[in-house]
Structure 1
Amino acid sequence: MTVPVTGRSTTVKGPGRAGRATLAGTVAVLGVLLVVSATAGLAIGSVQVPPGQVWGIVTHALGAGWTEPDWSGARETIVLDVRAPRVLLGAVVGAGLAVVGTAMQALLRNPLAEPYLLGVSSGASLGAVLVIVFGVNLLGTVSLSAAAFVGALGALLLVYATARSGGRITSVRLVLAGVAIAAVLTALLDLLLLTTDRGNQAREVLAWTLGGLGGVNWGMLWLPSTALASGIGILLAQARNLNLLLAGEEAATTMGLDVARFRARMFVLLSLITGVLVAAAGPIGFVGLILPHIVRLFVGGDHRRVLPTAALGGAVFLIWADIAARTVAAPLEIPVGVLTALCGGPFFLWLMRRDARRGTERGAV
């Protein structure tokens, strides 16, 4: 099927024998990289743990250990209770943001689309800051995450109410509403910080709004993990429809897709997933922008290939970003969002220049 995308033709083929072999090879390589990355995340830190000992601790905890424990209780606590939840959260958030970014770019047919386009991160940030500034602790340790999710959900409802006020919801109106609501919520957040008497929390607020994986425990993993698994399953089931959107709205409608309804459902799903991920780790930027483009270089544009490889690639990327965040300036920990921005900013500029150059070339033709 030849699909015209923004003035040029792109061929999206079904996963034939060669395509399945390429996908299997790419997934296998990324799977190995994920295991290596997770091992490094458990081993590297202020207390270095040899990789062999890491695996001994993990297998022993799972009841499959083949050697007698030769490590201290302190090392076991560091690996299992401090680093393991952090590494798993990094893998889940990285995979989730990459998958959401992939779907957003398809739904909007815009290579610069990313998970926070609809103002979800601004709502989550406002909810989290309200908890930090006013010291609300109704739900104990999950109060901040719960407030962030409620803020993300509230922002989503505002965006949809604003976009629908003019009649039928279109992708352009939805994006414009998201930008406007995000600006208003960010202004409210800044006003709150300027007028509050609790200035000593400014550093905590700044650290959260930059994103990070610190302070996570096992009890915080079930919700983002469930959101990721459900989201990937639904998106893989809708991969054909995402491919159809690459042909444009008219062509997709001709092929039997109700574009408006499909987009509305997908935007709600993606926003809810993003809200859960932001509530767990803060607004970590650029992962959902750069990973989809990187994996497309290896597996093409078919979403049946892009979605699983983007998930694995995002997990690997964010694990290594977190390793760098806690080791580059040790003992000081850099918010992981700072490092992803340092990687994603130049990539974003390159992407803009590439698209501008292609537009000039098409205009010349």
Structure 2
Amino acid sequence: MLADEVAQQLLQKTPGLSACLGDEADIDERSLRHSLETVLLDVLSSRQPGAPDTGEPVCQSGLEAPHQDGLQPSGTTAGEEQATPPDQTRQALFHALADARATPPQSLPDLAEAAGWPLPPVVRGVVMATPGETQQVAALLGDSLTGMFAGRPCLLVPSHVEDARARLELPMGGRLAAVGHEVPLKDTPSSLRWAHRLLALTPDRGVETRPVFVEDHFSSLLLLQDEPLTQALAAHWLRPLGDLTSRQSERLEATLLAWFEGGGAPEAAKSLSVHPQTIRYRMRQLEKLFGPQLRDPRIRFELELILRSRRLMAQARIVQARMAYVRQGRRRSRAFTANPAPDTAEAIARVNGL
């Protein structure tokens, strides 16, 4: 039979497999096929992408390689399970670092040694916009740790060198990704969490796609942290604008924020593309509405904080609406191309010269 011939060829030309089988010459075809399938599945599931092939026979799932003097491997006894595969160990290490509530099965140094990933003093979390690119970037970086965080594949990258940022920008060129801030190991979840948040607020700019760094957006992320609280503060401090129309209120809010940011009428006018006299007129309106509050430093600070937050939130809503529109368009495009109507299919064929 063909199966017998294949089995014989494997036994004769694959020394590693012969070593795994030992003297079990009476093994039947079904058992041999089952063992081969099991070994292949174990190898494919346990070997890390890009890991070097040591040339040693891989014997798992009940097929054990012979040991000198008939002894079991060091540290194990007959009937005990074999060592955890490296990828599972690395996943356990990532989980222990990314979840502050996790209790690792062993100390972090021991887990890192077993995973072959030396613990760096500081790390950065990286989240790719396209999850399928995570392993590609990991292979380019070489010393990263991959795992799941908040339902997405992520990277942990050592960040103990001065040019860490430049080192990340090159392999991620042309890819949209968010890079968390540099943190000690105990704060790893914070770096990953803020990278996730920044990615959700960042649109894909096509040809200008590049990684974004949390450290460039600290103040924006802080202001966007709690929208209900911002709305409550706005309802309290912007109450003098409550009797105006929405258009009037928006115009005066923009004027007041430009005044705070620019420091005077000429700068605010340039920012809003209006005449300085228009800014002075609107500021007189604001002084009538707010009274002496605009001269109180603490109130001025809180008003600027609220106005900046409201502007950022409006921009974030626009970005998220655009991203949702793009995703919806892609889904419709896939549905259209997957199941075109007969007339549509004929039209497509004509356009393509068929």
- TM-score, with length taken from structure 2: 0.26
- Richer in helix (by share): 1
The answer to which structure has the higher strand fraction is 2
